[in-house]
Amino acid sequence: MGKPSSQKFFQTALQHIGLAPFDADGTAPVPLPAQRSSTVRFKSVAALEQALQSRAHGGKTPPVYGRGGLDTHRALEEVFCTLEQGHGAFLLPSGMAAISHALFSFLQQGDHILIADCVYAPVRGFANQMLARMGVEYSYCPPTVEAFEQALQANTKVLYIESPGSLLMQMLDVPRLVEWAHAHDLIVMTDNTWGSGYSYQPLALGVDVSIVAGTKYVGGHSDLMLGAVVTRHESHMKILHDAHYAIGFAISADDCWLALRGVRTLPLRMEQTAQSALEICAALAAWPEVEQIYHPAWPEDPGHALWQRDALGSNGMLSFAWSLSPGQTRVFVDSLRYLGIGFSWGGFESLIQWVSTDALRPHSYWTDSPQGKRDAQGQAPQVLRLQIGLEAPEALIEDLMQARAQALQHTD
């Protein structure tokens, strides 16, 4: 394990990965062109044999078929390896595809996986629909060593976590979880879409496999679907490669190109949205009906100390629980002008998601909280998740305030 790289390193490195090489006459465009090809030609039988031998040993270059990608794909793989400080990266057509690729690579019939109960909700659907069909057992646990220890089985192979958590942004003590998991010979995987390598580097904290939905902050413009699986172990490369190639995962060169374009501004976007999110938190904290703000960079967040210890920065994601009624919350959401209603995040635009009680119920972080205990008594506070984009924070605060004023006037 090494220390996370500084954000200043990324600010420069991300501007130089994937630039077009110079031609024989000494000229070159700045961005690498998107290399679109379904077929790879070989100059000789020897060249083909060399490519086949490279693939047989888990290599990624040169490809033998267009599905393996060309230079545009290689450049984006380098981006993810740089951001995550990993040994190798594999590109997938979505974040969920990246999750399924990582799990398919290391699990087989008869295995058991421990899953933190704060993970991205579709992971539960994947477990129910795919892992169960494969004969893989799974247990959801509060993301603590004590809970995982109780659920550990002789056939447990993988610990799957997400930090911060998907809806309430709780920080996990990842180094402690890694130490425990490795003592039991478990492979540790984490969804790192929140940090995307720039704000959080789980591989540097000892995690074995990091998974990123490049759809979010890496792409940054809400115009592509993308996932990546990054490992810090050379020994994992062939395992991940074989599953990737066998299942037939592939992404287009155009999506790679869009991601390369988007990542140039990743440092600026992450830093701007992180600062704006703190300003939004400060505004929300002044509202008497707001009971809890969930944002690890916010000093009042329960996971703030872990965030200070382990993270490099933050982003524009935050949630809050408030005491207004469902009817008032509906008016609030519908009255917003700049925050669109949507499930995604990481783009340039601000979004809001009204989190359902059903979505919160599996989260021990929620059910063990004062808000969650009230929920059990039928007095549920409403939870809203905000994705803060690149609009002026003053405009967003004004929008939130006018929507709140309309909500307060509403009676159920």
Rounded (5°) CA angle 172-163-290: 85
Beta strands in 102-170 (DSSP E): 112-116, 137-141, 156-162
Amino acid at 85: Q
pLDDT tier for residue 244 given thresholds of 50, 70 and 90: very high
Token representation of residue 254: 């155009």
Q: Residue 258 in 3-state DSSP?
A: helix
Instruction: Count Cβ atoms below 10 Å from residue 388 Cβ, excluding itself.
Output: 27
Which pLDDT score, from 0 to 100, does residue 376 have?
Answer: 61
Alpha helices per DSSP H over 184-292: 237-247, 253-263, 266-285
Instruction: Count Cβ atoms below 10 Å from residue 2 Cβ, excluding itself.
Output: 10
Token representation of residue 338: 């700049």
| Buried b or exposed e, range 161-171, using 16+ CB within 10 angstroms | bbbbbbbbbbb
Going from N- to C-terminal start, the domains of the chain cover 7-263, 266-409
Closest CA to 98 of 287, 225, 186: 225
The answer as to CATH 3.40.640.10 being correct for domain 7-263 is yes
Distances (CA, A) of 200 to 132, 293, 296, 337, 377: 31, 20, 12, 31, 37
Closest CA to 213 of 231, 194, 198, 232: 194
Token representation of residue 304: 């703030």
Of all residues in the chain, the percent with pLDDT exceeding 70 is 96
Pairwise CA distance, residues 31 & 25, whole Å: 18
Contacts of 204 (CB under 8 A, 6+ apart): 1, 2, 3, 4, 5, 85
Q: Classify domain 266-409 at the CATH superfamily level.
A: Aspartate Aminotransferase, domain 1 (3.90.1150.10)
Token representation of residue 374: 């009230």
Which pLDDT score, from 0 to 100, does residue 61 have?
Answer: 54
Contacts of 6 (CB under 8 A, 6+ apart): 312
- Per-residue pLDDT tens digits for 184-199: 999 999 999 999 999 9
Partners of 92 in the β-ladder:
227
Distances (CA, A) of 289 to 205, 314, 366: 37, 25, 18
- Per-residue pLDDT tens digits for 6-37: 777 888 899 999 888 898 889 888 988 898 98
Which pLDDT score, from 0 to 100, does residue 66 have?
Answer: 84
Which pLDDT score, from 0 to 100, does residue 325 have?
Answer: 95
What is the arithmetic mean of pLDDT over 300-327?
97
Compute the mean pLDDT over every residue in the chain, rounded to the nearest whole number. 93
CB-neighbour burial class of residue 287 (10 A; exposed 0-12, middle 13-18, buried 19+)? middle
Pairwise CA distance, residues 87 & 302, whole Å: 33
Instruction: Please say if the pLDDT value at position 1 is more than 90.
Output: no
Pairwise CA distance, residues 133 & 244, whole Å: 20
pLDDT tier for residue 4 given thresholds of 50, 70 and 90: low
Query: Which sequence positions are flagged as catalytic?
Result: 67, 120, 191, 216
**pTM score, whole prediction:** 0.94
Instruction: Count Cβ atoms below 10 Å from residue 237 Cβ, excluding itself.
Output: 18
